[in-house]
Amino acid sequence: MAIPAQATLPTKGAGTQLWRQADGASITTDADYLNDANWEVMGKLKELTPNEMTVEEYDDAYLDDDNPEWKNTEAGEKDSGELAFTLAWLPGDPAQKAMVEELGGAKKHWRVTYPNGAVDGVYGYVSSIGKAVPKKETMTRTGKIRCSGKPALAETLLGVVVGP
């Protein structure tokens, strides 16, 4: 499967979607991230901050280093970060109800699809939920997913073949 041409061009964010793993769905391969049957869309997405991956560092300086006045660090564990989002508050929406019930619960997969055909996937638990109730704007539901393990990034999922 060839990489779609639109995935190599700058793209605006309108049309981006957030999905949660559907109850009973199994996500075990990269191809599972691309199969819409495994997912339930979180509707009315207003804002999204994808996870920022970081690397911890540790001090690797020794008393007998050639230049002991200079700090010497090494890369440590990688952290897949946190996925943050804002939705229009829909208290009767099944996906939002499930998200509220999952606060601090079991980990599951989450997927972001972008308008250029790219897909990011993370595995984690709902770590935060909230609401904003402005006077003259749409009420919103905020959420954060604390990611765990290695994410499935668009850079690796592009070109994955789905099906036989």
CATH number at residue 110: 4.10.410.40
Averaged confidence pLDDT in the chain: 92
Q: Residue 157 in 3-state DSSP?
A: helix
> pTM for the complete prediction?
0.87
The answer to whether residue 44 sits within a structural domain is: yes
Q: At a CB cut-off of 8 Å and minimum separation 6, what does 144 contact? A: 82, 83, 84, 85, 126, 127, 128, 129
Structure tokens belonging to residue 47: 């804002």
pLDDT for position 161:
57
The answer to whether residue 92 sits within a structural domain is: yes
CB neighbourhood size of 45 (10 A):
18
Element (H, E) at 4: none
Least confident of 67-71, 74-78, 132-136, 144-148: 67-71
Q: Is the pLDDT of residue 163 over 70?
A: no
The answer to whether residue 3 sits within a structural domain is: no
Mean per-residue pLDDT for 50-62?
A: 93
The answer to whether residue 60 sits within a structural domain is: no
* Domain that residue 100 falls in: 14-50+81-157
The answer to whether residue 110 sits within a structural domain is: yes
Q: Is the pLDDT of residue 98 over 70?
A: yes
Mean per-residue pLDDT for 112-117?
A: 92
Reported as a pLDDT band with limits 50, 70 and 90, residue 153 is very high
pLDDT for position 46:
97
The answer to whether residue 131 sits within a structural domain is: yes
The answer to whether residue 1 sits within a structural domain is: no
Give me the number of domains the chain comprises.
1
Reported as a pLDDT band with limits 50, 70 and 90, residue 99 is very high
Identify which has the larger pLDDT, 82 or 157.
82
Q: In this predicted model, what pLDDT tens digit does every residue of 7-16 receive, in sequence order?
A: 778 889 999 9
Q: Is the pLDDT of residue 1 over 50?
A: no
The answer to whether residue 109 sits within a structural domain is: yes
